[in-house]
Amino acid sequence: MDTSRKRYGAAIALVALGLLAGLITLVWDSSRTGNGARKDSAASVPTAPAPTAAAPGRQPMTLTLTTTGDVLAYPTIIAQSERDAGGSGNDFHKIFADVVPLVQQADLALCHMETPYAPPEGPFTGYPIFAAPPQIARTLADTGYDGCSTASNHTLDGGFKGVQRTLDTLDAAGVRHAGSARSEQEAAPTILDVKGVKVAHLSWTYDTNGIPLPEGKPWSVNVIDKQRMIAQARAARAAGAELVLLSVHWGTEWQREPDEQQRTLARELTASTNNGSKDIDLIIGTHNHVPQAYEKVNGTWVIYGMGDELANFPDKPRGNYSSAGLFTFSRDAAGTWSVTDARFRPLYSHPGPPFRILDVNKALADPGTPADTRVLLEAARSSVVEAVLSEGAAGAGLTEAK
């Protein structure tokens, strides 16, 4: 697939509707407290006009989505990127090379850029205050990603300047973003044009590690608030989105089972409807480092957690496992969208040397894969499959992509 066509074919939908302005005013009012969270001052989310949908009798069509987990550049990974660049600068292309076909096969590919970028010359730092090499953005674009969620507990590690620098860098690479913003206008829903269909990508995080939102800029990072999340989804519909995809940074680190916040929020968000149409079409979870279950909740697919796509935990192998979600959305002649195929694929951050992200089933099918690597891949596959299917997703139609 021509990734430049995908990236540059994604048009920015500027939202200037009076209704949308009212919704955004609701979302970012002045009654915010604590870590930027707003107290619920209204009994319910206002009802917006009926969501924009394809007109009855319109040509049926399908869209495919690939979505992957957290991108976390730890020092060992940064060191590998320096070696791959020949000792001059940083190059992440070889690290991501094995997943290029998986990403490029989709009409829309979304990642989760968890950490802010440092200036090109660094310094680059890992946990607890991340500052990643900005060269990652170009690699994400060349791998085939159209957009990334950017709301996470590390979004403000570099302050507001870090937010600006990260989004500037993603813009320069041609990668769209959702979840953090440089202005109140930019905090509006991100709308991508996919095969002529408007698809909204929203992104929210449970916290920012206690770092307060920048003074006077409550819109700089989306911090989880159910009412505001629903309002933003309805704003996206009002802006013409036929599909609304929601990325959520949530869950308990290193816990395979979804926690109570995940389960409760998933039930409430998937149950939310407006004039008979659901507000959200897919929930994509990140944050907790290990693969979690996929589950169909109120008829909507929820990925509780994909695990980290790019990470390196030498003492915690599960932290190097992740899943890629592969979904086909279909529009029927009546203009109604639904998921008609739901699959997943195990991924593995192989510590090396050299460090590489591996498409597990592809590597297992390659007769040239070394025996010792096969042992690691089999362990990764077994762990991912068990986690992903642990809430009964197989019975709802989820299958492993071989």
Cβ(249)–Cβ(267) below 8 Å: no
217 pLDDT exceeds 90?
A: yes
pLDDT for 173-205, tens place per residue? 999 999 999 999 999 999 999 999 999 999 999
168 pLDDT exceeds 60?
A: yes
Specify burial of residue 184 (Cβ count, 10 A radius: 0-12, 13-18, 19+): middle
pLDDT band at 44 (very low <50, low <70, confident <90, very high): very low
| Residue 314: C-alpha distances to residues 51, 77, 272, 351, 361 (Å) | 47, 12, 41, 7, 22
Of 34-48, 162-176, 349-363, the range with the lowest mean pLDDT is 34-48
Question: Is the pTM value of this prediction over 0.95?
Answer: no
In degrees and rounded to multiples of 5, residue 210 shows phi and psi of 80, -5
Strand partners, 359: 347
State the DSSP H helix or E strand holding residue 205, giving kind and residue range, or none if neither. strand 197-205
Cβ(291)–Cβ(321) below 8 Å: yes
* Residue 394: both structure tokens together: 């197989």
pLDDT band at 292 (very low <50, low <70, confident <90, very high): very high
Domain extent listing, the chain: 61-400
Name the architecture of domain 61-400: 4-Layer Sandwich (3.60)
